[in-house]
Amino acid sequence: MALDSFLLALLEDPVDHEELLYVPSENVLYNPRRRVIYEVRDSIAVMLPDETTPATDAQHEAWTNDPSVVKTGQ
């Protein structure tokens, strides 16, 4: 299930306090600066730094160039 647009406007990375990218096709939040992925479980963003997973180079390239990706904080 997709994240609510109101919630997306409020979200930021808990470590660097900058915007994230919401990847609707994968239902994840991605920080391209730190190259970490935050999982979304049952429409709840798991924003715990200890629970991130590293992004691959292919994921980084695909997600930073994907027009369907939504920036948070907007």
- pLDDT tens by residue, 6-22: 999 999 999 999 999 99
Q: What is the pTM of this model?
A: 0.93
Angle CA(28)–CA(46)–CA(27) in degrees, nearest 5?
20
pLDDT at 1: 63
Could you state, in order of their start, the residue ranges of all structural domains in the chain? 5-71
Q: Which helix (H) or strand (E) element contains residue 61?
A: helix 57-64
CATH number of 5-71: 2.20.25.10
In the chain, what percentage of residues exceed pLDDT 90? 86
Q: Could you tell me which residues come within 8 angstroms of residue 44 by beta carbon, excluding any fewer than 6 positions away?
A: none
